Amino acid sequence: MARTKDPAAQERISQAVWEVLGERGPQGLTLRAVAAQAGCTTGLVLHRFPDKRSLLLHARDLLHERTAARTVALEEAADSSAAALRTVLHHALSLTDVARQESRVWLGYLAAALDDDVLAARHRAGHTVFVERTRRLVGAIRPELSTTDVVSTATILVSYVEGANALSTADDERYDAAAQLAGLDRLLSVLGLDGVTAP
């Protein structure tokens, strides 16, 4: 049992879960695949993750941990609500290799959650943080909007980001970084969220 408390082994297994889900999808995420990726025995993986659901939940928690702290820092560093909204959404898109891997993990997890209420509940909990942040920033930029309009506007933005991420995992030429950013900038402008005051 002492081996499972080895921080280096724990980190290797954790990283292996992330890599296998991102590279092979939920169908390829098995205890054996994680063990092979981590360079350890299946038994060692089993000490921490008793089944596939626990592997998937861990991957979702990792995704939340990796993105949440970064998003908070980006918002705090911004000099206006409009700048904060753009940079938060910008960094939620699949613009880099790291972000593309995050999108693949997110999409793989979501696919597995389609018929698993436990996985779906964990997804909703993590996703709510992103949705609520977007709503709050929209409301700060456009205080004249009703609550209903703030919610629907945030829904448009979140749907664009998540849709672009999903599409780019299978077609990263059509939905490359330039295309994703151009779409985001256009959307922010149309919705009056780009911080530009009309003459």
Backbone conformation region of residue 25, classed left if phi is above 0, alpha if psi is from -120 to 50, else beta: left
Q: Is 72 found in the same domain as 34?
A: no
Single residue among 10, 31, 50 that ends a domain in this structure: 50
Residue 185 and residue 197: Cα distance in Å, rounded? 15
pLDDT in tens, 21-66: 989 988 899 999 999 999 999 999 998 899 999 999 999 999 988 8
Could you identify the residue written with the tokens 């954790």? 14
Residues in CB range of 139: below 8 A, 6 or more apart: 145, 150
In a domain, 13, yes or no: yes
Q: 81 and 38 share a domain?
A: no
Does residue 18 sit in the same domain as residue 59?
no
Query: Which CATH number covers residue 43?
Result: 1.10.10
> Which residue range(s) make up the domain with 33?
1-50
Question: Which CATH number fits the domain that encloses residue 120?
Answer: 1.10.357.10
User: How many other C-beta atoms are found inside a 10 Å radius of the C-beta of residue 132?
Assistant: 11
- Contact call for residues 104 and 142 (beta carbons, < 8 A): no
Number of separate domains in the chain? 2
Assigned domain for 198 exists: no
Q: Does the pLDDT value for residue 3 go beyond 80?
A: no
- Mean pLDDT over 128-140 rounds to 97
| Mean of the per-residue pLDDT values of the chain | 91
DSSP 198: P
For the residues of 37-73, what is the DSSP string, one character each? HHTS-HHHHHHH--SHHHHHHHHHHHHHHHHHHHHHH
Whether residues 41 and 58 fall in one domain: no
User: Does some domain include residue 128?
Assistant: yes
Do 66 and 108 fall into the same domain? yes
Could you report the per-residue pLDDT of 54-102, keeping only the tens digit for each? 999 999 999 988 888 889 999 999 999 999 999 999 999 999 999 999 9
Residues 58 and 46 placed together within one structural domain of the fold: no
- Can you tell me the distance from the alpha carbon of 198 to that of 66, in angstroms, rounded to the nearest whole number? 37
Residue 69 lies in a domain: yes
Q: How far is CA 101 from CA 21, 93, 183, in A?
A: 9, 11, 21
pLDDT tens by residue, 154-164: 999 999 999 99
pLDDT tens-digit readout, 95-126: 999 999 999 999 999 999 999 999 999 999 99
Instruction: Say what the pTM is.
Output: 0.86
Asked whether residue 76 falls in the same domain as residue 21, the answer is: no
Among 9, 29, 50, identify where a domain stops: 50
